[in-house]
Amino acid sequence: MSRPFNEEAYKAFDKKNKEILAQIMTKKGYALVGDINKEYYKEYDLKFKLGDTELTFENETRVNFVRIRDEFSTIHIPIRKQNTQVDYYVVWKPELDEFFLIDKPTLDKYRTNTVSLLCSEYNKAAHYQDSFIDVPKNEAVLYRKVKGKWKKIAK
């Protein structure tokens, strides 16, 4: 059984990580396609365009980001995202000063590599069982904001 939608976590993180990603992509010359406040449910969180190139992103903030970064060898992507067709999946640190970037070929490669785990709910005592795509962390790219600029962190 996967967890129900957590509106509290959504409100705490969704718009903020979209705004930061939009800033990053705009600085790279991309234009936002659509409305940052609109939900493109089951499609993508944000879409950008530069010339003929369009890129789509799915964002997720993980409260245990530091443990993922420092302790775990994999990044768990919720199974409900298994059939996503986005170009990039972004896993944010709650402070929004770091993120892992996972590209579509990597997501596709591990799409059927799943695990089932007992999880705790954001800001709640409730626990639930959920399934995840298990992506090796060394196949994601870690970015960190250093002195106001986003830097790729060596593996």
1 in a domain, yes or no? Answer: no
Question: Is the model's pLDDT at 122 over the cut of 60?
Answer: no
144 in a domain, yes or no? Answer: yes
pLDDT in tens, 56-70: 999 999 888 999 999
pLDDT in tens, 17-57: 999 999 999 999 999 999 998 877 778 999 999 999 999 99
Task: Return the pLDDT at 64.
Answer: 87
35 in a domain, yes or no? Answer: yes
pLDDT category at 138 given cuts 50, 70, 90 is very high
What domain range is 64 assigned to?
7-153
Among residues of the chain, what percentage have pLDDT more than 90?
A: 61
> What is 46-93 written as a DSSP string?
EEEEETTEEEEEEEEE-TTHHHHHHT-SEEEEEGGGTT---SEEEEE-
pLDDT in tens, 86-116: 999 999 999 999 999 999 999 999 999 888 8
135 in a domain, yes or no? Answer: yes
Among residues of the chain, what percentage have pLDDT more than 70?
A: 85
CATH label of the domain that carries residue 41: 3.40.1350
Question: Is the model's pLDDT at 1 over the cut of 70?
Answer: no
Handedness of CA 51, 153, 56, 147 (dihedral sign): negative
2 in a domain, yes or no? Answer: no
132 in a domain, yes or no? Answer: yes
Task: Return the pLDDT at 82.
Answer: 78
Q: Count how many domains the chain has.
A: 1
> What is 26-38 written as a DSSP string?
HHTT-EEES-TTS
Mean pLDDT of 125-154: 89
63 in a domain, yes or no? Answer: yes
Question: Is the model's pLDDT at 83 over the cut of 70?
Answer: yes
